Structure 1
Amino acid sequence: MISEFRSRFRFRHLRRGLAGVALVVLVVLEGLNAPYPAMAAATMASGVLCLAALAVPERLFARYAIGAAAVSCVLTVTEAQLSERPPNTPGMVELGALLLLSTRAVRRCPPLRAAGLVAASSLAAVALPLRIELWDHYLGDLIAVIAVCAVPFMVVVGLCLRLYDTLREREREAIRQAQRLEHARELHDFVAHHVTAIVAQTKAARFTAAAGHTQSPEDLDRMLAQIERAGSQALGSMRAMVTSLRDHATASATTRPTGDPAGPHGLHGLRGLRDLRALTERFSEVGPPAELILAPELADRPLPAGIATAVHRVVQESLTNIRKHATGVRRVEVRIGVRPGDPERLEVSVVGDGQSGASPAAERAAEGSGYGLVGLAERIEAVNGRITAGLRDGGGWQVLAVLPLDKTAPEETIACDHA
């Protein structure tokens, strides 16, 4: 990939170099049309300076453009006073370069600076035909065409290119913003889930020790093994995320980003409903028992990959919030099935039977300040679903997501196991 990028980079510079050499040769040939060697040298120098102003970096452009326009005007005024002038061409390459300077000024420079550069380069371009011998009324017609048609046209081209650059930059910024949001969601989904498990297991160990209960070596080894496993999973998730970001950065060096950096299904690829069994079992090891209920009609029904990923995120974030915020939870129920009365909609429900009310942290999450729920809502909306989360009337916390079961949505699908 790097070698391909280098070859394209070299080929682009080779084309530009060949085009520059060809234009310089044309400037030299036009300069040789002058009757005096000094006039020929001055014409060549003026043309080359105008071409150079087109090629310089942005920080030097205004300086070179003003200098090129000034030199061109001085040369035109000087030649207009001579009795012998070029018989047929005033320097058409230089004329084209002056018009392109107006276009570049409008496209790249601030409005006030662009107006000054356009005025200078346009004046030089309009006066340029005065270098040749009188063509009767044709000379006036040529000057009129340049002033009335060529200059306004190049200014309009510059405005169109400036608008195009603005729209393209907005598109890139929107893509970057979408990437940042996706990375934030992935970081929360994968890492925060495991870190929350580590914190919960550590609190349980400290609570047991503070209560004065003597723990057997087997119990200590089991708790430490759970913490170690959660830490290893968090490191694995971080490593996968860093790998994805590095791969995307390498790919962006040779291709223009066109959408989500991680593809339509997130940084870690697809997550089938088969993974939910392991997810609820790990949750039950250090928390209240979690029961997974999967409707039988989903056992052999293929799910769009994006929908399967969204279901996994809903369950994962809900279990994380229960572990972090809920109090007095004795049982958690995870139910996944076809929405009653709507066979083309999937319903995901996660319910914890905690005591009435919730902790302040849970209440803040219910009000929408939790990043996990915010990211989850964005993910669900991206697949044309909807989600609600809040306290139940009978106590406890419930998350309910409704997702489409569109057979024609994403082409890539996975089959669901009967859990």
Structure 2
Amino acid sequence: MTVNTRAVYAPLLALAAVGGLLASFLGVPATWVLLWVCLLLPLLGLVARWSPVRSGAAAASLGVAAVALWPLPLMWEAASWLEACGAAAFWALPALGALAAGGYLRRQANRMRQAVRDGRRDQQLELARDLHDFVAHDVSAIVVQAQAARFVADKDPEQAVRALERIEAAGLGALASMDRTVHALREAAGARSASVPGTSELPGLVERFEGGVLDADPAAVRGLSREADTTAYRVAVEALTNVRRHAPGAGLVRVRLHRAAGGIELSVANSAPARGAGGLRGLGLRRRSGTGLAGLRARVEAAGGTLRAGASPDGGWRVCAVFPAQEQPLG
């Protein structure tokens, strides 16, 4: 059975303090009492650092009293009350200093634990956003393609087969996204993680999107920092997901990555959907869609960029993210 030595600090200090007080007033030689007082100081620090607050406060009060009052029996007859109070205050200083040192170490340890908890919570939120940003895109593709296959299965089996192929590709993409999430969890435990997707995967992303057209400038891709590169891909995934959810009748969705006056610009614009096919608010990233516009804007701003979203002149919707161009291109 293991013994928690930290639990005995407070009782040990209380017993030592009572013993020191009794020794002082029973006439034990001052040298021995002083040595005993010197042993109380590290105990005070240990209690302030490790003991529970309630028991530690009681034991610390006894310890400070024992240290402060030990010289009083020696000067009881010769000194005035003012001198006795001064001596007690003088000897209380090292006791309070030991408590302050232990309390500071306790506070620093608590702040470190809180920082670890905050880091873990942030990591959990990051993983949740990853699941939404990547997996939701592929799952929504599976749903849309399955609905389309159901409607055309009898009339056009060839179209149904193509829809099933797209469902297979979206399913594989969802599995890959979940695999990256698992690797991220393993990385937190010390294992190596898979690379985070970036704009290099835009061609495959747009190719799986019906009606999608990609216009990417290689020089613009090389001008993105690693963080901006990943964030740009997330913007594209989120925008395409919302087109599929809320503007399924859009005949054309153009994804463009190019250099602009403000830096490197990624835009996702969909044409107006066919009448009766659904509204245009989907690309507006409504709050119920998951991370929402606020969450996406926070990601872009964290990467040093800006995000705009709004209706386009042709009746469609456009999302535009601009990132600063880096001096050293990605290797």
> Which bin holds the TM-score, normalised by the shorter protein?
0.7 to 0.9
In the TM superposition, what are the counterparts of 1:286-365 in structure 2 within 5 Å? 289-295=211-217, 298=220, 301-339=222-260, 341-342=261-262, 345-355=263-273, 359=278, 362=281
How many angstroms does 1:384 deviate by?
1.0
Residue type at the aligned position of 1:319: L
Preserved CA contact (<8 Å) 2:37 2:67: yes
Preserved CA contact (<8 Å) 2:213 2:255: yes
Deviations along 1:325-357, one digit per CA (max 9) or x if unpaired, are: 114201111121112x34xx1111111012489
Deviations along 1:358-394, one digit per CA (max 9) or x if unpaired, are: 9579469544443243443232111111112233354
Residue type at the aligned position of 2:44: S
Query: Could you tell me which residue of structure 2 aligns to residue 377 of structure 1?
Result: 297
Residue type at the aligned position of 2:5: V
Preserved CA contact (<8 Å) 2:72 2:88: no
How many angstroms does 1:225 deviate by?
3.0
**1:56 counterpart = 2:1:** no
**1:70 counterpart = 2:15:** yes
Query: Could you tell me which residue of structure 2 aligns to residue 26 of structure 1?
Result: none
Query: Could you tell me which residue of structure 2 aligns to residue 117 of structure 1?
Result: 59
**1:102 counterpart = 2:24:** no
Any unmatched runs of 5+ in structure 2?
A: none
Q: 2:189 aligns to what SS in structure 1?
A: helix
What is the total number of aligned residue pairs between the two structures? 321
Q: 2:258 aligns to what SS in structure 1?
A: strand
How many angstroms does 1:146 deviate by?
6.2
TM-score by length of 1: 0.64
Any unmatched runs of 5+ in structure 1?
A: 1-51, 252-260, 415-419
Q: 1:413 aligns to what SS in structure 2?
A: coil
**1:389 counterpart = 2:309:** yes
How many angstroms does 1:117 deviate by?
2.7
Deviations along 1:286-321, one digit per CA (max 9) or x if unpaired, are: xxx21112247537x443222222222221221111
In the TM superposition, what are the counterparts of 1:222-237 in structure 2 within 5 Å? 222-237=162-177
How far, CA to CA, are the matches of 1:336 and 1:99 in structure 2? 67
Q: 2:33 aligns to what SS in structure 1?
A: coil
Preserved CA contact (<8 Å) 1:86 1:131: no
Cα distance 1:68–1:156, how it changes in 2: closer, same or farther (>3 A)? closer
Preserved CA contact (<8 Å) 1:336 1:349: yes
How many angstroms does 1:201 deviate by?
1.1
Query: Could you tell me which residue of structure 1 aligns to residue 149 of structure 2?
Result: 205
TM-score by length of 2: 0.79
How far, CA to CA, are the matches of 2:169 and 2:33 in structure 1? 80
Residue type at the aligned position of 1:73: V
Deviations along 1:215-250, one digit per CA (max 9) or x if unpaired, are: 43x554433333223222212221221122023124
How far, CA to CA, are the matches of 1:130 and 1:338 in structure 2? 82
Preserved CA contact (<8 Å) 2:284 2:309: no
Cα distance 1:99–1:228, how it changes in 2: closer, same or farther (>3 A)? same
Cα distance 1:279–1:75, how it changes in 2: closer, same or farther (>3 A)? closer
Residue type at the aligned position of 1:223: A
